[in-house]
Amino acid sequence: MRLAALLMLLTAGCATPPDVPPTYRFDNGLWFNGRTFASATAYVADGALHFSDDVIAAETVVDLDGGYVVPPYCEGHNHNLGGGADGVEETVQAYLKDGVFYAMMPGSFALYRGLIADKLNNPKSIDVAFANNGLTGSGGHPRALRESVMERFERYPDFTKETLPDKGYFEAETLEQLRGKWALILAERPDFVKVMLYFSEEYEQRKSDPEYYGKRGLNPSFMPELVRLAHDAGLRVAVHVESDADMATALRAGAGADIIAHLPSNDSTARISDETIALVKETNPTLITTLSVAKRKFEKRSPELYADIREAQRENLTRLTDAAANLVVGSDTHWDTSQEEARYLVSLGPLDNRAILKMWTQNCARTVFPERKIGRLAEGYEASFLVLEGDPLADFENTSRIFLRVKDGALLEIENE
* Residues making contact with Zn ion (CB under 5 A): 332
Nearer of residues 77 and 407 to Zn ion, judged by Cβ: 77
Nearer of residues 75 and 382 to Zn ion, judged by Cβ: 75
Find the shortest distance in angstroms from Cβ 75 to Zn ion. Answer: 11
Taking the alpha carbons at both ends of the chain, their separation in whole angstroms is 12
| CA–CA gap between residue 58 and residue 45 (Å, rounded) | 8
Find the shortest distance in angstroms from Cβ 290 to Zn ion. Answer: 7
| CA–CA gap between residue 219 and residue 216 (Å, rounded) | 9
Nearer of residues 332 and 336 to Zn ion, judged by Cβ: 332
Task: Mark 215-254 as b/e (b = at least 16 C-beta within 10 Å).
Answer: bbbbbbebbeebbebbbeeebbbbbbbbbbbbbbbbbbbe
Find the shortest distance in angstroms from Cβ 262 to Zn ion. Answer: 7
Nearer of residues 80 and 125 to Zn ion, judged by Cβ: 80
Find the shortest distance in angstroms from Cβ 77 to Zn ion. Answer: 6
| CA–CA gap between residue 88 and residue 98 (Å, rounded) | 16
The whole-angstrom distance between residue 41's C-alpha and the CA centroid of its chain comes to 30
**Burial class of 28 by CB neighbour count within 10 A (0 to 12, 13 to 18, 19+):** middle
Nearer of residues 258 and 332 to Zn ion, judged by Cβ: 332
Find the shortest distance in angstroms from Cβ 134 to Zn ion. Answer: 9
Find the shortest distance in angstroms from Cβ 137 to Zn ion. Answer: 17
| CA–CA gap between residue 144 and residue 121 (Å, rounded) | 31
Which of 409, 408, 411, 404 is closest to 99 using CA atoms? 404
| CA–CA gap between residue 233 and residue 61 (Å, rounded) | 45
Nearer of residues 332 and 341 to Zn ion, judged by Cβ: 332
Find the shortest distance in angstroms from Cβ 194 to Zn ion. Answer: 9
Find the shortest distance in angstroms from Cβ 237 to Zn ion. Answer: 15
Parallel, antiparallel or unpaired: strands 68-70 and 385-388: antiparallel
Nearer of residues 332 and 382 to Zn ion, judged by Cβ: 332
Q: Contacts for 39-45 with beta carbons within 8 Å, 24 or more apart?
A: 42/69, 42/377, 44/383, 44/406, 44/409, 45/21, 45/409
Closest-approach residue to Zn ion (CB): 332
Nearer of residues 98 and 332 to Zn ion, judged by Cβ: 332
